[in-house]
Amino acid sequence: MTDARSPGADAATFLEVVRSGDPARFALVTERHRRELQVHCYRMLANYEDAQDLTQETFLRAWHKRESFKGNAALRTWLYRIATNACLDFLEKRKDRTLEDSEVLYLQPYPDRMLPEDPQESVVARETIELAFIVAVQHLPPRQRAVFVLRDVLGWPASKTADALELTVASVTSALQRARVTMRGRLPDRRLDWRGAELSKDERGVVKAYIEAHERNDLDGLAALLREDLRFAMLPEAGTTTTTAKDAVDGWVSGGLFQRGHDDWRGIATTVNRMPAAALYLRTPEDPEYRLFAIAVLRVADGKIAELTGFDATGKPWLGLPATL
pLDDT (tens digit per residue) in 136-160: 999 999 999 999 999 999 999 999 9
Say what the pLDDT of residue 125 is: 63
Q: What CATH number does the domain located at 201-319 have?
A: 3.10.450.50
Asked if pLDDT for residue 13 goes beyond 80, the answer is yes
Domains 7-192 and 201-319 share a fold: no
Asked if pLDDT for residue 99 goes beyond 80, the answer is no
Using one digit for the tens of pLDDT, what is the confidence trace for 201-249? 999 999 999 999 999 988 899 999 999 999 888 887 765 667 777 787 8
Average pLDDT value for residue range 285-301: 93
Instruction: Say if strands 304-312 and 291-301 run parallel, antiparallel, or are unpaired.
Output: antiparallel
Asked if pLDDT for residue 26 goes beyond 70, the answer is yes
State which of 132-146, 191-205, 248-262 shows the largest mean pLDDT. Answer: 132-146
What does the domain layout of the chain look like in residue ranges?
Answer: 7-192, 201-319
**Is the distance from CB of 269 to CB of 208 less than 8 angstroms?**
yes
Q: Burial letters for 271-288: b for 16+ Cβ neighbours within 10 Å, e otherwise?
A: bbbbbbbbbbbbbeeeee
Say what the pLDDT of residue 90 is: 96
Using one digit for the tens of pLDDT, what is the confidence trace for 56-80? 999 999 999 999 998 888 899 999 9
Q: Burial letters for 191-226: b for 16+ Cβ neighbours within 10 Å, e otherwise?
A: eeeeeeeebeeebeebbebbbebbeebebeebbebb
| Overall CATH class of domain 7-192 | mainly alpha
List the one residue out of 261, 260, 256 whose CA is nearest residue 293.
256
Say what the pLDDT of residue 297 is: 96
Asked if pLDDT for residue 197 goes beyond 60, the answer is no
Q: How far apart are CA 271 and CA 320, in angstroms?
A: 11
pTM assigned to the model? 0.88
Say what the pLDDT of residue 251 is: 76
Higher pLDDT, 117 or 103: 117
